[in-house]
Chains A and B, each alone.
Chain A
Amino acid sequence: MPLLQRLSLRLRIFLFFALIALGSSALVIIDLYLALQRIGFDALPHLVLFGGLTCFGILFLTGWVWQKFDVNVANPIEMIVKDVRSLVHAGAGQGLDQETGKYLGFLNPAIREISEALVEARNETDRQIAVAVNNANKQKRRLESVLKDLSQGVLICNLDHKILLYNHRALEILHVSGDLGLGRSLFSVVSAAPFHHALERLTRRFSEGRHKRHKEGLGQLVICATADGRHTLQGRMSLLLNEQETSATGFMITFDNVTRQLAENVERDRLLHNALVNLRDPAANLQATAEMLTGDFHLDSQTRHALEQMIAREAAALAKRITALDDTAHAMLANAWPMSDVYSSSLFNSVLRRNSAESLKITCEFIGEPIWLHCDSVTIVELVEFVLRKVAETTGLKAFQLQATETGRKVYIDLHWHGDEVPSVAQINSWLDEPLDRDLGEITGRDVLDRHKTDFWCTRVPQGTIHLRLPLAPARDHHTDEAREETQILPERLEFYDFDLMERTNLGSLEDTPLRELDFVVFDTETTGLDPSGGDEIISIAGVRIVNGRILSGEFFDQYVYPGRTIPPATTKIHHITDAMVANAPRIDAVLPKFQSFVSDAVLVAHNAAFDMKFLSLKEESTGIKFTNPVLDTVLLAAHLQGQNASLTLDALAEQFGIEILPDMRHTALGDTMATAEVFLRLVDLLEASGITTLRQAVEAENKIAAIRRQQARY
């Protein structure tokens, strides 16, 4: 009965009553016809009259009952159905009024109760979702903060070796050898062979089920070199499984730069060996002399005196060698810390973030200049935060100052406060025996100090304040002001991970890959003029990556280029780049290889791409760098969507899409790149809405517009 089911309830009931009325009338007519045959056709006029009246009566009665049924039952039921539907789908239902639903018995009140219960259940679910989302966000922030402060580098990759996550430390260790970025190949930064080998072993171990009893489970030690071969990395690769633990989805690597450590191990072995040899001699002499003196040898007084002199001499020699050993050993121990350089301001900020995370109302002012130091920032942050909390609890104070000072050999972290009583050594020792944080396991403050080969103490300083002084090692590497600026430029919340990449399979043919899944590098160049063939040159080039539909603002390329000629004042007026600004910049043949490495196999996007690509192609011969990547042009794509007559300048498109370009960033390569990237993402939305979802379709649309433009240019 599919047709009937499609009809409304009221119509179906009407048809039902109509059927009864017509059926009954038909029966009456048949009965009268049969009666007519028995009693003869003389009775026809009477039978027609009675039959007519009866049929009319049946029709009228059925019609009346139907009308009552429709008003009081069918219509209210339909209203209730509509109401329940709107409640289920739109989350709001009115319920029937008492009058309309009075003949439905308990149905109407029951529906009302169900509505109320549903609304309440929905509200409760919403509340629980809000709490869960909040918790998830908290954990996410916590994870980000831990990853950020971790002293080891962390990378997570999918099975195609594409990077899904990296932390600050990984960036620090690996940026020396190439450009690390989300969605890019791991092997652009490290040598491939050790990882292929480890991954193969792990996947085999997993597929054969041996990982369950293997002492390393799904982990494996990996030692490899950075892509440029300058650094040695030691780490651990672990296989990551899907939720059902039935197949591998990727792998995680935690690693350290052990180049220096390896050299130090060699030096330590040498020291230990020499120490043993150097101490054996005087120790043997002392032992022999003492035995001679105390044994039963009947020595005369002259011999005894000579032996006593020898003991004094050998003891002095032993003491001297121990002292010499001491100095070397201490210098070496200080160097053996497997830690990293940290800027004191970021350390203090982490302390404060932990502090606010614990919702303590402690204020902490940072005084003095920030300094680079060498430590394991995760545990030092925990320790300083812990001690801050302890001092606050003991003294009842809420206001503190944190300062880092440098003496050349050491960096001091000083916590200052105004108070009456200096915490005693005994009290500090009792703090240090407590575990720091449940997330760090049973690690105590003493463990952290021992690991850093340091200690701390409290004293009253001449200015009347009390300070708690924690000495740490100074930075190992020379960090220039430039490096500081670089650290400050980095946005607080970089895009360090994108787990959606986990689902990606090998791209294979880019053409049929949905636009959303492609990696793009949006780029822009600033030049000395508009005539690449006439000798104009690139003076600035910038690019930014888009992965999984997100602009990775932390992964950008921005480089001035020395053009080997002067910049005409007319163009300087536009981009504000002067000869002085590019005087010390690298030449294009040094910049393009780096830019190509940054671009990798991404799709190139530019506003009026033909212009920029022309400049790049003219350099192919001299630099040997050829960009064969697919190219998309935001001008052509916008023309396809909005027509040739629309205003297609970057400013016009940005304004149309509500994208703000800061005035001082407009006509800088990086500023224009960022704006183009934003415009491009909006265009991708519109392209999808118009049915263009793959790279091939986008290129085809672009080519049509380009052909039309070429035609127009001809006339």
Chain B
Amino acid sequence: MAHSVLVVDDEPSMSFVLEHLMKAQGYHVMTAPDGSSALSSTQEHHPDLVLLDLSQDDRSAYETCQTIRATAQTSDTKIIMISARSREIEIEKGLALGADTYLTKPFALEAVVKAVDALLTEPGSKNTHDMAFG
């Protein structure tokens, strides 16, 4: 059965691109425009992976990440944080609060595909920041 991916993005154009990119990879894709709908969606549908891109609201991005990780039913969900905030401290905070991978913008689409594949096919690879694309 195909893995399910939840695309959380507050920018419609990036949401559009990521949704189609994931669909093209054969994943079952859901979308959410903000943190609270992302949380209810993870509770309800238990996606295998969350692509979390809340660049407009970084506080909400960190909160959403921490809550997904802290909630018992969703604590195993893989999380990739995508952000235009690229300072080392921001990456470190994202990873500390539970993200498995932190991607900084701008990025190549290939980088997202590789990161998602890596997390969904190799369950052991946690807490990485692919600096090659950062």
Interface residues of A (CB under 8 A from B): 316, 318-319, 322-323, 326, 330, 333, 409, 422, 424-426, 429, 453-455, 457, 459, 469, 471
Complex Cα distance, B92 from A471, in Å, reads 10
Can you list 15 pairs linking A and B with CB atoms under 8 Å apart? A319-B106, A323-B106, A323-B134, A326-B104, A330-B86, A425-B63, A425-B66, A425-B97, A426-B59, A453-B89, A454-B89, A457-B93, A457-B97, A459-B96, A471-B89
User: Measured between C-beta atoms, what is the minimum distance from B109 to chain A in Å?
Assistant: 11
- Checking A319, A322, A330, A425 against B62 with a beta-carbon cut-off of 8 angstroms, the contacting residue is A425
Which of under 10, 10 to 19, 20 to 34, or 35 or more describes the interface residues of B?
20 to 34
A459 to B98 alpha-carbon distance, docked (Å): 9
List CB contacts (< 8 Å) of B46-65 with chain A: 59, 62-63
Q: How far is the CA of A9 from the CA of B1 in the complex (A)?
A: 121
Give Cα A333–Cα B85 distance, bound, in whole angstroms: 14
Least CB distance from B24 to A in Å reads 17
Bound-state CA distance A318–B108 (Å) is: 12
Determine the chain A residues whose CB is within 8 A of the CB of B106 once the complex forms. 318-319, 322-323
Find out whether the CB atom of A455 lies under 8 angstroms from the CB atom of B89: yes
Whether the pair A326, B70 counts as a contact (CB closer than 8 A) is: no
**A425 CA to B61 CA in the complex, in Å?**
10
- Kindly provide the distance from the CB of B92 to the nearest chain A CB, expressed in whole angstroms: 7
In the complex, besides A330-B88, A455-B93, A457-B97, 7 extra interface pairs with C-beta distance below 8 angstroms are A318-B106, A409-B88, A425-B59, A425-B97, A429-B59, A457-B62, A457-B96
User: Is B11's CB within 8 Å of the partner chain A?
Assistant: no
Minimum distance in angstroms from A433 CB to a CB of chain B? 11
Chain A residue, CB-CB nearest to B98? A459
What chain A residues lie within 8 Å of B134 (beta carbons)?
323
> Which A residues lie within 8 Å of B93 (CB)?
455, 457
| Bound-complex Cα distance A459 to B92 (A) | 12
Q: Give the interface of B toward A (CB within 8 A).
A: 59, 62-63, 66-67, 70, 86-90, 92-93, 96-97, 104, 106-108, 134
Centre residue among B87, B89, B107, B108 by max chain A CB count within 10 A: B89
Residues from chain A with Cβ under 8 Å of B104 in the complex: 326
A588 CB, min distance to chain B CBs, angstroms:
52
Contact A453 B63, beta carbon cutoff 8 Å: no
Question: How distant is the Cα of A409 from the Cα of B87 in the complex, in angstroms?
Answer: 13
User: Closest CB-CB distance, A21 to chain B, in whole Å?
Assistant: 106
Of chain A, the residue at the smallest CB distance from B107 is: A319
Min CB–CB distance A319 → chain B (angstroms): 4
B1 to chain A, nearest CB (A): 33
- Taken together as a complex, chains A and B put the C-alpha atoms of A416 and B70 apart, in Å, by 19
Task: State whether A424 and B63 are in contact (beta carbons under 8 Å apart), knowing that A453-B89, A459-B97, A471-B89 are contacts in the complex.
Answer: yes
Known: A330-B87, A425-B59, A426-B63. A316 touches B96 (CB 8 A): no
Nearest-neighbor residue (CB-CB) of B92 within chain A = A471
Smallest CB–CB gap between B39 and chain A, Å?
12
Cross-interface CB contact of A422 among B70, B90, B92, cutoff 8 Å: B70
Rounded to whole Å, the gap between the CB of B55 and the closest CB of chain A is: 15
A residues in contact with B96, CB < 8 Å: 457, 459, 469
Q: Smallest distance from the beta carbon of B21 to chain A beta carbons, Å? A: 15
Q: Which residues of A contact B107 (CB under 8 A)?
A: 319
- Alpha-carbon distance between A14 and B37 when the two chains are bound, in angstroms: 109
Q: Is the CB–CB distance between A424 and B66 below 8 Å? A: yes
Residue of B nearest to A315 (CB): B106
Instruction: Answer whether A455 and B88 are a contact pair too, CB < 8 Å, given A316-B108, A424-B66.
Output: no
- Give B62 Cβ to nearest chain A Cβ, in Å: 5
Q: Which residue of A lies closest to B62 (CB)?
A: A425
Q: Which B residues lie within 8 Å of A426 (CB)?
A: 59, 63
Q: How far is the CA of A322 from the CA of B93 in the complex (A)?
A: 22
A426 to B97, CA, bound (A): 12
Smallest Cβ distance from B71 to chain A, in angstroms?
Answer: 12
Once the chains are docked, how many angstroms separate the CA of A429 from the CA of B66?
13
With contact pairs A322-B106, A323-B134 given, residues A455 and B66 touching in the complex (Cβ less than 8 Å) = no
Pairs A-B, 4 closest by C-beta atoms: A319-B106, A425-B63, A425-B62, A425-B66
Minimal beta-carbon separation of A301 from chain B (angstroms): 23
Report Cα–Cα, A424/B68, bound state, in Å.
12
Q: How far is the CA of A457 from the CA of B104 in the complex (A)?
A: 20
B72 CB to nearest A CB, Å: 14
Beyond A424-B63, A429-B59, A459-B97, is A326–B86 a contact (Cβ under 8 Å)?
yes
A409 to B91, CA, bound (A): 14
CB-nearest residue of chain A to B64: A425
| Nearest B residue (CB) for A459 | B96
- A455 to B66 CA separation, bound complex (whole angstroms): 15
Residues of B within 8 A of A454 (CB): 89
In the assembled complex, the CB of B34 is this many whole angstroms from the nearest CB of chain A, namely: 14
List of A residues within 8 angstroms of B108 by Cβ: 316, 319
Smallest CB–CB gap between B126 and chain A, Å? Answer: 14
Q: Which residues of B contact A318 (CB under 8 A)?
A: 106
- A630 CB → nearest B CB, Å: 60
Chain A's nearest CB lies how many Å from the CB of B59?
6
Distance of A426 Cα from B104 Cα, bound (Å)? 23
CA separation between A46 and B90, bound complex, in Å? 132
Query: Measured between alpha carbons, how far is A409 from B88 in the docked complex, in Å?
Result: 10
Q: How far is the CA of A429 from the CA of B63 in the complex (A)?
A: 10
Bound Cα distance A542, B101 (Å) = 61
A453 to B92, CA, bound (A): 13
Q: Which residues of A contact B90 (CB under 8 A)?
A: 455
